[in-house]
Structure 1
Amino acid sequence: MLLKVLTLNCWGVPVAVACKLRNERMIAIGDELSKGEYDIILFQEIWDKADYELLKKKMSPSLKYSHYFYSGAIGSGLCLFSKLPILESFYHNFSLNGYAHKIHHGDWFGGKGLGMCRLKFNDIRINLYCTHLHAEYDFQDDEYAAHRVSQAFDMSQFIKLTSTQDNCDLVIVGGDFNVKPESLGCQIIQSNGQLLDSWITKVLWIYLFLVGVLPYIGGVPVAVACKLRNERMIAIGDELSKGEYDIILFQEIWDKADYELLKKKMSPSLKYSHYFYSGAIGSGLCLFSKLPILESFYHNFSLNGYAHKIHHGDWFGGKGLGMCRLKYNDIRINLYCTHLHAEYDFQDDEYAAHRVSQAFDMSQFIKLTSTPDNCDLVIVGGDFNVKPESLGCQIIQSNGQLLDSWITKKSTKSPGNGHTCDLPSNPFTGQKALKFDPDGKRIDYILYRCNKGTSITLEECNVTMGTIPDRKYPYSDHEGVAAIFNVEKTESSDGTEAIGASTIEGNINNCLTAIEKGLKKASSDCTFYTILAIMSVFLLYIISAVEVPYGLGLVRGFVLVLLTLTFGYAIWNRLILNKMEENGLINSKKDMENYLVFLQTEMKTS
């Protein structure tokens, strides 16, 4: 097969002063590339969606398939055109993206990351990646050097994790890396990603990469509330330092001092640990293990609630999915830990679309990084903040091909139905929660899957870590989930039975409905912030122009300051945060639509 690929930075900054002759150049680019000389074209700096639509209109006759990666406040600027059908798409946000106050640079507002699409030509499977790393603005004193190196390593890890020999035959990575061939960034991308430079060799291939596993797992999700936090952390550390579990997954360890306390107490029995740093206050996710941690990776969710909802706090944690690879003898394990967005209003859940997006994003990442080629056992644990029958839980299990340890267990020492949160016996449970769920609810999970050549038996699953011995209060407002697995290598095993495409298709369609509702809410919020900004300016003008009696000048000054802050708040939300939410929702929608087409094709051919 002869495959012709082009990558081009189009210099499409949507500001006339900063980008000369943009419209004329976009027309010329579309005219030239519409000739169909290339099979795949990767673009960077297509910030204005009108430019993307222009290129799409001109190039679609010769390059029928296209995809734009929506991210940040102004879009990632990344898109691709292809003669081959796009089977799946996924976007991984970099955790570091420059600075928000450097508006004249703008990288932060693009939500930069790595776009991925899967294509197929006859029997050749192609993983296609497109990116645009942070620009270098000062060649003598580069303040973004650390950010770019972080992006390069993050990018190489993601490529390595998602492009094993089991799921692709050819890997192509293109884009504006903003680094020279001899630079550290370029070297880490090529060496860690196992990639060759097409300028030197003309071909890019990916090589097999193997990682780790173990036969018994214990997952204890612990949510940290404000009450008696220090006392409870000490009790948690004391209890789990006994070494009963081989692996422990924590959520809501926001304070690093708590992590260090647990580490100090538990390290004699669980020697290895890792904290997933993210957001302004940390992800809250960490794990402890008796087995060495071979690799770690963190995938940020593109949607994480709202920055102005400070009392909720999810946005500040930079929520996502933490991944570690372990190994026990010849059994390799991919271990995932997460904490999805909380539900604060049981009657009118404003975060429903965000949580569905996170659930789909999470299931896609697990599926992409846990093929039979790189692991034997997949374990996923954490506080999902969704009930078993909810759409979020269904999409995680069906698309991720995962089983629920509470459902498949052979035995349990726990009475009841596995509820872990808002239990009536827990003194930290609020009356509002009991009104909707009098018996509590099950939102903490250990899910699992074994791949071909490995067999697994779930010997036991229990709800644990309730009331602290000799105390009147529990370890947390959640109880933990503990599972005991018996895993062995068996050549005759086909692995966990696959969940059918028709089931996944139904869940994806329901997800699309939820995302559409989220987009309508985002549009409504956009209107609200626009009106709020206009009213603030109007009142500022009126109050500034009106004469006030002597002695009320201080009051007027206070009101003017308040209105100015309100105007700034409205503009920031309208132009930046609202657009980030909208782009995140659109990107989830496009990924779901691409995957839906793939599923429908699979069902027709099967």
Structure 2
Amino acid sequence: MLEILTLNCWGLRPISKYRIERVNAIAIELLASRQYDLICLQEVWVREDFLRIYTRIKQNYPHSKFFITGALGSGLCIFSKHPILSTKTIPYHLSGRPLGFSDFFVNKAAGSVVIEHPELGQVEVFTTHMHAGGPEGYHIGNSYRSLQAWQLSNEIRRASSQGRYVIACGDFNFQSNELPYAVLRDHGLVKDAWICSRARNNRDVETADRVDRPCSSAMEALSEAGITVDSPLNSWTLTKNIPIEVQRTFGKRLDYIFFRDPSPPPRWPLTDRINPSLQCTSSEVVVTSHVPGKDYSYSDHFAVRASFSLSSSMPATSATTTELTNNNRYNGEISSPTLSDRSTSSNTPLSMFSGEKKRQMLNELRRVVEHHREVHVPHGRHLLIGVPVALVLLVAFTISTAFLPNHSYYSPIFAFFAGIAGFGGCVALVTGFVWARWEDGALRRSLEELAEETDHL
């Protein structure tokens, strides 16, 4: 029915080793592997790499989109077997700091395409690469990812409310026991394809993302835990300093495929039938071998594949209709999963029907945002101290050159340092004032949205 693949290609020009060779190998692998409906790639930073892949696979995937954001691009692209009706680039409001992390210059984002599927109709597919953990530390990175997950959840809700099936996949840079995952699950009301494909009933889905089953080998971690990065089976892991706790689990699961059905139409529950439910029938980690004839892997991430099918629709009963309507009305929209999910599907987490669980998530997200605003935003404003210091140094070096002998060797040195002082003052002003206020404004807007969402529960 529907086949999706997502892969982080690790295609950063100055850093990624054997980039061109690996990109060509990825294109050959995608062409030789099973026929997918959509291929979603991340970290394809160089447009020429996108064209290299497209040139090789365009016979099978004639429709494509390369998403552009920031100064260096988003690194996101999608290849589709089906016609693309529309596209949208969604830069995240917060994506690192000018002096703190390179994510600021690429402006992490989500990209979406709406395709026309012969059986599903319109399907909106999102690919994303969220804020990475870096020198800024876990807490600030987690707050960025949480707000990015909130923004993506709102986009998913919008797409679902327009009567579309929704797929969201990519490198999310969080694990399933972290807050951003809960934001997508409880606000975006998405289902995790990996979990759903292995669940036998609703309770399995509810607990699968909480229970860490110890794996005895790296191969078992791939097949049972869905490990996609920092696996000892990946050649590029050997070049990293992997924390002990990650080594114990044979890596991390950071790459996901989420999905959601269309929201019930405005006339529901007056109508007796609703859309059939999308079911994940299988999901696995793929592209795990080395490049043929080489001693390195295709990327520092493994790919994730998922297959979906439709369950048949069924009549709505008054009891379940009333329960869903009362428990899942957010912002005036009945955004619950379809009735067939509630009645017959093994793919629906029970958490989706708990308003209290969402309230807990919103409270935790509010605490994270408030902590970020109280602790980290003032750090940026401290850079404003550098403005008067730079101004004093600029004036001092400029005046000093007037008292130097003619043709003195010190004149160009003083002029150089005067230029450095002027440049430093400009950077301090832009970062400490403009960006600090920009970030604070985005955080305040997020707090307002969270308060409004809590009031509607």
Confirm or deny that 1:286 pairs with 2:286.
Answer: no
| 1:401 equivalent in alignment to 2:401 | no
Tell me which of 32, 38, 43 is aligned to 1:242.
Answer: 32
Q: 1:454 aligns with which of 276, 282, 293?
A: 276
Pairing of 1:365-384 with structure 2 (within 5 A): 365-371=155-161, 373-375=162-164, 377-384=165-172
Task: Determine the C-alpha separation between the residues in 2 that align with 1:284 and 1:290.
Answer: 21
Measure, in 1, the Cα distance between the counterparts of 2:230 and 2:261.
Answer: 32
**CA distance in structure 1 between the partners assigned to 2:380 and 2:135 by the alignment:** 22
Establish whether residue 314 from structure 1 lines up as the match of residue 103 from structure 2.
yes
CA deviation map 1:510-559 (0-9, x unaligned): 11111112212443224321111122223334444556685433322222
Choose 543-552 or 553-562, whichever is displaced more: 543-552
Equivalent residue number for residue 86 of structure 2: 295
Deviation at 1:230, TM superposition (A): 0.2
Distance 2:293 2:72 in 1: 33
In structure 1, the partner of 2:323 is none
Question: For residues 245 and 399 of structure 2, what CA distance do their matches in structure 1 show?
Answer: 52
Letter in 2 for 1:538: V
- Looking at both structures, which has the greater relative contact order when contacts are Cα pairs under 8 Å and sequence separation is at least 6? 2
Deviation at 1:342, TM superposition (A): 0.9
Q: Secondary structure at the match of 1:420?
A: coil
3-state SS in 2 of match to 1:454? coil
Tell me the equivalent position of 2:360. Answer: 506
1:304 correspondence with 2:80: no
The answer as to whether partners of 2:42 and 2:77 remain within 8 angstroms in 1 is yes
Q: SS of 1:370's equivalent?
A: helix
TM-score (norm 1): 0.59
The equivalent of 1:217 in structure 2 is: 4
Counting matched residue pairs gives: 382
**For residues 302 and 346 of structure 1, what CA distance do their matches in structure 2 show?**
18
Structure 1 residue corresponding to 2:446, chosen from 588, 591, 598? 588
Structure 1 unmatched runs, 5+: 1-213, 600-606
SS of equivalent residue, structure 1 residue 219: strand
Structure 1 residues 245-264: aligned runs within 5 Å: 245-264=36-55
- Corresponding letter in the other structure for 2:362: I
- Length-normalised TM-score, structure 2: 0.78
**Displacement after TM superposition at 1:367 (Å):** 0.9
Distance (Å, rounded) in 2 between the aligned partners of 1:505 and 1:460:
32
1:215 to 1:542, Cα distance in 2 relative to 1, 3 A: closer
C-alpha separation in 1, matches of 2:440 and 2:240:
34
Q: How far apart, in 2, do the equivalents of 1:292 and 1:338 lie?
A: 21
Equivalences for residues 511-526 of structure 1 within 5 A: 511-526=365-380
Distance 1:216 1:559 in 2: 59
1:464 maps to 2:252: no
More displaced 10-residue stretch of structure 1: 436-445 or 482-491: 482-491
- Asked if the contact 1:302/1:584 (under 8 Å) is kept, the reply is yes
Change (3 A) 1:527 1:292: closer
For residues 526 and 470 of structure 1, the distance between their equivalents in structure 2, rounded to whole angstroms, comes to 49
More helix by share: 2
Written as runs of structure 1 = structure 2, the 5 A alignment for 1:486-501 is: 486-492=309-315, 494-496=339-341, 497=348, 498-501=352-355
Q: What displacement does 1:481 show?
A: 0.6
Instruction: Tell me, yes or no, if structure 1 residue 431 matches structure 2 residue 231.
Output: no
Residue 223 and residue 397 in structure 1: after superposition, are their counterparts in 2 closer, same or farther (change >3 A)? Answer: farther
Shift of 1:443: 0.7
Native 8 Å contact 1:422 1:434 kept in 2: no
Q: Tell me, yes or no, if structure 1 residue 339 matches structure 2 residue 126.
A: no
Inter-partner Cα distance in structure 2 for 1:574 and 1:540: 19
C-alpha separation in 2, matches of 1:511 and 1:236: 38
* 8 Å contact from structure 2 (residues 127, 170) kept in 1: yes
Shifted more, 409-418 versus 391-400: the winner is 409-418
1:531 matched to which residue of 2?
385
Paired AA for residue 438 in structure 2: M
**Aligned residue identity for 1:460:** S
- Which SS does the other structure have where 1:350 is aligned? helix
Structure 1 range deviating more: 290-299 or 547-556: 547-556
2:115 is aligned to 326
Q: Confirm or deny: 8 A CA contact 2:7 2:304 kept in the other structure.
A: yes
Instruction: Please report the RMSD computed on the Cα atoms of aligned residues, expressed in angstroms.
Output: 2.4
